[in-house]
Amino acid sequence: PDSSTQINFRKLRDDLEQEGFWNRDLVHEAKLLGIWAGLVVTAAATASTVPILSTFLLGLSMTAAGWLGHDYIHGVDPFADRLRNFAALAAGLHPTWWSDKHNKHHALTNEMGVDEDIATDPFLYQWAPAPENDSPLRKIQHWTFYVPFSFLFALWRYDSMKVAIDAVEAKRPNAKSELYALLIHYAVLWTVFPVNVWLPAIFMSGLVSALIVTPTHQSEELFEDYQPDWVTAQFQSTRNAVTTNPFSEWLWGGMQYQLEHHLFPSMPRSKYPQLRERLIKFAQDNNIPGGYRETGEFEILKMNWDLYKRVAEADAVPGAPSTRGRLGQQGGILDSSNSPAAAGVSAFE
């Protein structure tokens, strides 16, 4: 049976829907798209004259495009539907691949062996593994984390192209248009930008994005078993970041409001700041352990590093859960046919 927390959450969601929280602010969207376009145009204009500046701007544009595409793929409004392929066109990220991977993360957040966002070994571990699943890299992960972080977008792009081709062969909905969007992206990227600009930009955007997406979940509760009270599990497994300036507010791309996003993933991200007080009250009224969790943007990065350090210094634990799950586990990665992690390829949020 549903818990009282889940029943109360449905009432809250109904109230928000009636209040228009799913109505997209097109002026705000135009501003964000304009910033992205400005970065791309300026990066193109400086590609041959100031390649370092071009790389920096192109990397920022890729991160911004990822956040925008993330919002549109989640979205359920007509504007989001029209821009579903934006992530493919602007960031080289395949919408169907994203949905397959990311929706599972939303449904089973921080569930060990199920959530691919915490299946990042052998490069990074969020808990001390069993000896048979250990790696020498774990002992230095708090010093080398930035290397796998930098590969985030490269891995996502590889997975995107692989799934795009497989989707066409399987005749999945919109498969051809999504593949064409990816091909257009690479045609423009490789035509406009030299390799000494676009290649490091991909790794820069991966580093920036990983620094943002990993700390809002990893330092919170990890679950060994399925959590039937989904709402409480989202509060327990999520921590928001409090940004300190307009640039950070833009750069985090809505991920600073991670709890709001997890509870209402189809809501336009421009609405998230308005939910804070209501979610604080909801947590208090429903006696949710830990309540509404938020930490400053730099402190939360330090918390993430502390986690990696703590796990690096710990001994291996016989019988510790595998990041790939166990045979027969509901939603386990080992039993997932479309999981990069099941094939041994680590992937982040």
How does pLDDT run across 112-159, given as a tens digit for each residue?
999 999 999 999 999 999 999 999 999 999 999 999 999 999 999 999
Let me know: does 65 contact 87? Beta carbons within 8 Å.
yes
Calpha distance 321→224 (Å, rounded): 7
pLDDT at 329: 79
pLDDT at 330: 78
Let me know: does 119 contact 129? Beta carbons within 8 Å.
no
Phi, psi of 242 (to 5 degrees): -95, 110
Instruction: Give me the mean pLDDT over the 290-311 stretch.
Output: 98
Calpha distance 325→338 (Å, rounded): 15
Q: Is the pLDDT of residue 293 over 70?
A: yes
pLDDT at 100: 87
pLDDT at 336: 65
pLDDT at 333: 85
pLDDT at 334: 81
Calpha distance 73→266 (Å, rounded): 9
Let me know: does 69 contact 89? Beta carbons within 8 Å.
no
Angle between helices 4-18 and 276-285 (to 10 degrees): 160
Contacts of 135 (CB under 8 A, 6+ apart): 121, 122, 123, 125
pLDDT at 338: 53
Q: How confident is the model at residue 348 (pLDDT cuts 50, 70, 90)?
A: very low
Other CB atoms within 10 Å distance of the CB of residue 222:
18
Q: What is the pLDDT of residues 223-268, one digit of tens each?
A: 999 999 999 999 999 999 999 999 999 999 999 999 999 999 999 9
Let me know: does 128 contact 194? Beta carbons within 8 Å.
no
Q: How far is CA 278 from CA 52, 98, 119, 194, 293, in A?
A: 44, 30, 33, 48, 13
Q: What is the pLDDT of residues 313-333, one digit of tens each?
A: 999 999 999 999 988 777 888
pLDDT at 62: 98
Q: What are the structure tokens assigned to 331, written together? A: 């939603």
SS3 content of the chain, % helix, strand, coil (to 5): 65, 0, 35
| Closest among 303, 300, 301, 283 to 292, alpha carbons compared | 283
